[in-house]
Structure 1
Amino acid sequence: MGSGKTRANPNNRPTVRHPSHDHPLRVFKSQEGDEIICSGCELELIGQAYKCTKSECNYFLHKSCFDLPGETHHKSHPDHPLTLVHSPPYGQSTFTCDACGEHGSGFTYHCSNCHYDVHVGCAFVPESVEREDHEHPLTLLYNTPCKGREDGVTFICDVCEEDMPENLWVYYCKECDYGTHVHSCATYEDNAAKKGEEEGETSSVASEMKSVMDARMEMAMMQLQLDAIDAAGSYVGSWEPRRGYYW
């Protein structure tokens, strides 16, 4: 015999609105392995989130993406504030991020004066990272160290060994002249994993774990930034670029 308690109807849960979407959103708890992509940052959905109340609508947002400030002053673009836009600007289906060079179709921080766009995930990457295979911390630069050179020398990522356009952001060690792409090459990948890929031995578990860890790192950094904004009374002061960022 039942206890007489009634189970809560999900349709009766409180809903919220977000300017990026036409339908109401409801609180959603994402689990590892769900393989859901956030419609804002386009990273894997982890932890607290929101989902569209319409069953046929596949719209999800991290809580941190839901709470992103509508405007930010960023060190990479000190002359103008960047405004959060919820769909690609310029009337196209995608935009190109000026930080990492990759395409995006979700949220972006945008300067309409300069046609400058940054993924929301790129906007809050840490200013330094450490790799297990390098003895010094790598510092975030907002262009490659080769920018402005007239001898035709280009910067090459020391992890993937690909040429990098001079305006892309890079994690760099000046002492060793060592640098990497901001996302795909910044985190350490052990030799065993690389060997497995070379031999064609793909591991779905390893791939999933790496994706989860990458997404968690991105969202943790974004949440730390949002917490700092809240602590300062939702005000982000104007940031001045440090000279060391522009070698």
Structure 2
Amino acid sequence: MASTRPVNRPSVRHPSHTHPLRVCKARGEDEMICSGCELELTGQAFKCAKSDCDYFLHKSCFDLPRELSHKSHPDHSLTLHHSSPYGQPYTCDACGEYGSGFTYHCSACQYDVHVGCAFIPENVKREDHEHPLTLLYNTPCKGREDGAMFICDVCEEDMTENLWVYYCKECDYGTHVHSCPVHENHQPKKREREASLEALRMQSLMAAQDELAAMRIRDNIKNSVIHFGDEPRYKWVYE
């Protein structure tokens, strides 16, 4: 099991859990799952101080802001929920995958985003494409009257129009927001695809933690709504 040796402070409280949490160092071979993002627990983390309670949190999930303004949903802010607001698993409006842990939620629109998906980068570079890909908050086929579906150029699966996509306009090339693996005959293996999604979300959460720390130091902001990114200067228009 992961070491529960205290670091700096013996225990802390988090609103997502009724018991105190202790700092621990998680190893990959422990195969523990974060109760927040539902991904494998690695690195600095927290575990429930009660030995019979399997509640764990990444340090990055522990530090998530309670409220978030996000470009994907500009009309309303998103509030962090520590469990599904529906009493059953929710569907992430970014990647289309299910979730039952933490979510950023808009109650007015029933809009939900995994905490990992909320912080994915706006631009990525894939080894199998020559240009950088830009994050869009719906597929380029949204609103087409002919009912055409956008197809991921890596796994060749149809994508519903409201899903987020990484896209190269110059080449009309796009992929799911998680990193689709390339396989023989273009048939994705579920286990490897889930592993790619997990790695991307974890990287995004770690980057979010670093960004939060830098913003607090630079602006001396405490107990306030944190905004990520500037407003877009233009919108893509597809005809």
**What is residue 218 of structure 1 aligned with on the other side?**
204
Counterpart pick for 1:155 among 147, 150, 175: 150
Counterpart pick for 2:226 among 224, 229, 236: 236
Distance 1:143 1:31 in 2: 37
**TM-score of the two chains, using structure 2 as the length reference:** 0.84
| Structure 2 counterpart SS, 1:87 | coil
Distance 1:96 1:45 in 2: 22
Q: CA deviation at 1:219?
A: 2.8
Gaps of 5+ in 2: none
Cα deviations across residues 123-178 of structure 1 (Å, max 9, x unaligned)? Answer: 00000111111000010000000001101111000011111000000000000000
Native 8 Å contact 2:35 2:55 kept in 1: yes
Which stretch shifts more, 47-56 or 221-230? 221-230
**How well do the aligned residues superpose, as a CA RMSD in angstroms?**
3.0
Question: Could you tell me which amino acid in structure 1 is paired with residue 205 of structure 2?
Answer: M
Distance 2:82 2:11 in 1: 20
1:181 and 2:176 equivalent? Answer: yes
Question: Could you tell me which amino acid in structure 2 is paired with residue 49 of structure 1?
Answer: A
Distance 1:124 1:216 in 2: 10
Question: Could you tell me which amino acid in structure 1 is paired with residue 83 of structure 2?
Answer: S
| Structure 2 counterpart SS, 1:33 | helix
Distance 1:209 1:122 in 2: 15
Q: CA distance change for structure 1 residues 215 and 125 in 2, over 3 Å: closer, same or farther?
A: closer
Native 8 Å contact 1:46 1:216 kept in 2: no
Distance 2:13 2:119 in 1: 24
Aligned residues: 228
Distance 2:194 2:139 in 1: 31
> Which residues of 2 match residues 20-169 of structure 1 at below 5 A?
20-90=16-86, 92-169=87-164
Q: CA distance change for structure 1 residues 87 and 113 in 2, over 3 Å: closer, same or farther?
A: same
Which stretch shifts more, 50-59 or 217-226? 217-226
Q: CA deviation at 1:56?
A: 1.2
Distance 2:196 2:146 in 1: 39
Larger radius of gyration: 1
Distance 1:10 1:116 in 2: 39
Q: CA deviation at 1:109?
A: 0.5
| Identical positions, percent | 65
Distance 2:207 2:237 in 1: 23
Cα deviations across residues 53-98 of structure 1 (Å, max 9, x unaligned)? Answer: 11111110001100100001000011111000101012x2211111
Native 8 Å contact 2:117 2:201 kept in 1: no
Moved over 6 A (4+): 206-209
| Structure 1 counterpart SS, 2:209 | helix
Native 8 Å contact 1:44 1:215 kept in 2: no
Question: Could you tell me which amino acid in structure 2 is paired with residue 167 of structure 1?
Answer: N
Counterpart pick for 1:227 among 213, 217, 233: 213
Distance 1:208 1:237 in 2: 29
Native 8 Å contact 2:135 2:164 kept in 1: yes
